[in-house]
Structure 1
Amino acid sequence: MALNHFVNELEILAQIAEGDQRAFTLLFKHYQRFVFSFGKKITHSEESAGEIVQDIFLKIWLARESLPEVKNFGAYLNRLVRNHSLNVVRKQLQDTKSAVEFSKIFSEVDESTILQLDYNETNNLLNQAIAELSPQQRMVYQLCHQQGLKYDEAAVQMNISSQTVNSYMKDALKKIRNHFRKHAVAYPLLILGLFDKHHF
């Protein structure tokens, strides 16, 4: 779908950079449909597209102080959504042992455009979330996500099935995402209530 810009977009971005949640809400309402549609087009999944919307705007808010440096927010958002959506697809394909097929797509992505989060803030939130996982979920996350083991390799090490590993990983990632959204510093909780994929 077409990407329509704010007339006073630079002013809105400057206000968001100063922590203005009202301005951020305006930005969210203006671009959420585009992010959802673009994410769905790439992932072919409404559920994934809904998660992409919240992930993208969470990243934008956490890195809001850098927004005044963005000269073309439309192009910036376009690349950000594309890269994030392709990362989602890559993870899905890796889970189904199709990483080779995805590499043809991902090789064309310019990862330098991905928005950078504040490292300390993000790392602290991640460590908190991991600590709250169940022992099994934490072990699966550490083996597969941090150490890079494949699901079948982690299954052998934990003496469980690869299907169980997959289930633990999905639950772990869901809990981590929810923790991040709940505790992200100064992230407007209103945004979580604004988004409803059924409105698209």
Structure 2
Amino acid sequence: MGVLTHANDKELVVMLQAGDNNAFTELYNRYKRPLILHGYKKTGHLEDAKEIVQEVFSTLWSQHEQLPPIQHVSAYLYTMVRNRVLNYIEHKQVEARYALNFQNFIDEGLNTSDIQVREKELQQMIDKEIAALPPKMREVFILSRKEYLTHKEIADRLNISEFTVKNHIKSALKILRLKIGLCALIALQQFF
């Protein structure tokens, strides 16, 4: 039992305002448990409630010289805990928003990277299938699709007819659609 266990709350506050460490200790011992319980009911976390009550008493001691006249110590302390709980809840909501935004950023970043990897793989498949075309057909196709030459320009460069150029491109597209379509279908099935 402490020396001040018989003092009432108003007397303890006056003594606390004068810097009496024993008065502070007595107030702490009287209100610690009910305030922790109150904080726990509001936060749902015992450790957080204990920390909130610790902060309240720390503030009470650090500001003991500036304390206003307190009529009801319990009401004053409960109000301090309530305000800290509201700050706690607001802080948790901000943390949750940041965590969600960060997770969205990570998800989008991974998604973008995944798309880039798949695009590169698809381009490699297309290049591989183009390389597998018959030599003359491949040459015509590359001049058409990669160097953007017209059928007439290709025909003049290779000394073949425009009709032959058109047939090579048509045949190359047919082969590529078939082969790349199957590869893409297989890749999609692995992805999903």
- The TM-score, its normalising length taken from structure 1, stands at 0.44
Q: Which has the larger radius of gyration?
A: 2
